[in-house]
């Protein structure tokens, strides 16, 4: 598989059996910058040569809050604003600043990662939980 400009990670948070739907509340920690996906992408040397950069930054994180099932929960989204370097949390019409460290504490459902055009430098900050 070749790698693209954007990568989506979708967590399988919901499971259904004969009686009800359950939500997996496991918190998965992750950096918000400089994640290298080289080992998960194509092993073909020609593709690796053509696409040497495999480092991605998180640009959006979608979270489901509440109970599983139709109409029983709400969604929040964390969006990175490149111009200001600030993260925002949005839910309906409510928008607020959020620290990157708080994003990693959420029950992520969908994440959108963007390919870095440059190689990360030693001065880039990686946020780990």
The whole-angstrom separation of Cα 43 and Cα 59 is 26
Residue 41 DSSP label: S
Q: Is the pLDDT of residue 38 over 70?
A: yes
Report the chain's mean pLDDT, rounded to a whole number: 82
As a CATH number, domain 6-114 is 3.90.70.10
Q: For the chain, what are the domain ranges? A: 6-114
Interval 55-114: pLDDT, tens: 999 999 999 887 766 667 888 999 999 999 999 999 999 999 999 999 988 888 899 999
Supply the pTM of this predicted model: 0.76
Range picked from 5-14, 29-38, 55-64 for highest mean pLDDT = 55-64
């Amino acid at each position: 598989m070749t790698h693209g400009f954007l990568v989506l990670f979708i967590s399988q948070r919901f499971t259904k059996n004969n009686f009800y739907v359950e939500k997996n509340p496991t918190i998965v920690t992750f950096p918000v910058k400089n994640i290298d996906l080289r080992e998960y992408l194509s092993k073909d040397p020609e593709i690796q040569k053509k696409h040497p950069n495999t480092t991605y930054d998180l640009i959006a994180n979608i979270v489901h809050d509440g109970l599983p099932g139709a109409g029983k929960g709400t969604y929040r989204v964390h969006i990175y604003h490149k111009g200001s370097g600030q993260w925002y949390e949005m839910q309906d019409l409510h928008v607020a600043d959020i620290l990157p460290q708080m994003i990693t504490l959420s029950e992520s459902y969908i994440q959108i990662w963007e390919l870095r055009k440059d190689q990360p430098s030693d001065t880039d900050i990686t946020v780990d939980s």
